[in-house]
Amino acid sequence: MATAPANLPVIAGEALPAIAAAPANDVAAPMVAGEILLVPVQDIRRGPRLRPIDPVWAEALGAIMAREGQQTPIEICRERGQPGWLLVAGAHRHAGAELAGMALIEAREVSGSLAHRRMREVTENLWRRDLDPIDRAAFIAELVLLKRSQAGIKDAEHREQSVPRAVKAEAARTLETISNVYGWSREVGAELGFSDRTIRNDLALYRGLAPSVIELFREARHPVLKNAAQLRQLTKLERDEQERVAGRMIDCGNGDAAKSVTEALQLVRGTSRAVGDPRAKRFTTIIGTLSRMDARERLGLLQSPDFHALLPTEAQRLLAPMRRGSGETAQ
């Protein structure tokens, strides 16, 4: 193979035969749909990404590419006034190639417009089955924002907090947008995992979780990122409390990290002595039961002789005026 001029990409593979040289059975030769380039890894720069790079996955992917070859080209573009190439899609493959010490990487050149770059990143990642709920929601939100921008519809900043009713309305618009973009019926969208409920839950997570909390969990590679139910519990908290709860769940200091949002919240609010303490669980159960009782039921409990018999002597003395048959009632 001839050596390419310095700083120019190499076309990978051999050229296809001329179309005139058709097979004997008159089947038309395939058309060439673009070219795969061999580009120096160091000549490609990565800009901000919607989905942060997971260094562990990138290292594993790089080792696979170095051993077995690259299966899917990355996508790159030229950026006006800038040297080299800008990565459009395939950040983990590019990072993996760097970590594996690969000199060249297979790539396709695509449009350099910002909207096109964002759309390529979104569409490449959106169909991955292993996406965490937060990542999937980010790509869904970005896809809708791009399509609405193309239609000339101005959207408010879609990372702000939103009340449940607004999230529900946005989920309906989002599903309609995705269906129109890809020509899906609602049934096909649901089969692929893009039902109204899924989108609504993902957008609620994306809007409700503080970015700092997501970053904490990502740095710790915490399994809660794959647990949508636990993440939804976090969205019900104020953002400063979300951070404290996340810290308790990670707890890199003394090894007694909370196993769930509920346990972490107990520790943060001082309603638990230690994670897994059965006394704390009983206490939480009692508090939960009391919170579900109305005022009359609570008064009945405080006036019950059976309840008073279970109390320490000092508490019995303080609450004695409230016992039934004592001749006094609470005001």
- The pLDDT of residue 25 is above 80: no
Return the minimum-mean-pLDDT range out of 26-40, 105-119, 147-161, 300-314: 147-161
Among 97-106, 118-127, 178-187, which stretch is predicted with the lowest mean pLDDT?
A: 178-187
pTM of the complete model: 0.53
- Asked if residue 252 has pLDDT above 70, the reply is no
Q: Amino acid identity, residue 121?
A: E
* 3-state DSSP assignment of residue 89: strand
Residues 6+ apart with CB under 8 A from 259: 249, 275, 276
Q: Where are the chain's structural domains?
A: 1-9+32-113, 127-208, 228-289, 293-331
Coil, strand, or helix at residue 87?
A: strand
The more confidently predicted of residues 261 and 18 is 261
CATH number of 1-9+32-113: 3.90.1530.10
Sign of CA dihedral 160, 163, 166, 171: positive
Whether the pLDDT of residue 258 is over 90: the answer is: no
Tokens standing for residue 283: 């206490």
pLDDT reported for residue 135? 82
Please report, as a single letter, which amino acid is at residue 10: V
d(CA 59, CA 124): 20
CA–CA dist 204, 164 (Å, integer): 7
Question: How far is Cα 174 from Cα 198, in angstroms, rounded to an integer?
Answer: 11
More confident residue, 322 or 204: 204
Whether the Cβ atoms of residue 234 and residue 264 lie closer than 8 Å to each other: no
Rounded-to-integer distance, Cα 75 and Cα 81, Å: 19
Helix boundaries (H) for 101-238: 114-126, 133-150, 164-182, 186-191, 196-208, 211-220, 228-235
From CA 249, how far away is CA 243, in angstroms rounded?
10
pLDDT at 133: 80
Mean pLDDT comparison of 160-174, 177-191, 195-209, 270-284, highest-scoring range: 195-209
Write out the two tokens for 203.
């957008």
With CA atoms as reference, report the closest residue to 88 among 72, 57, 58, 110: 110
Token pair 């990502």 in the structure block, residue: 218
Q: What are phi and psi of 4, to 5 degrees?
A: -75, 150
Q: Which of 95-109, 199-213, 233-247, 253-267 has the lowest mean pLDDT?
A: 253-267
For the ranges 25-34, 250-259, 278-287, 308-317, which has the lowest average pLDDT? 25-34
**What distance in Å separates the CA atoms of residue 70 and residue 73, rounded to the nearest whole number?**
7
To the nearest whole number, what is the mean pLDDT of the chain? Answer: 75
Strands 37-40, 104-109: pairing is: antiparallel
Cite the DSSP H helix spans in the chain.
55-68, 91-100, 114-126, 133-150, 164-182, 186-191, 196-208, 211-220, 228-235, 239-250, 261-268, 278-292, 295-303, 305-309, 313-319
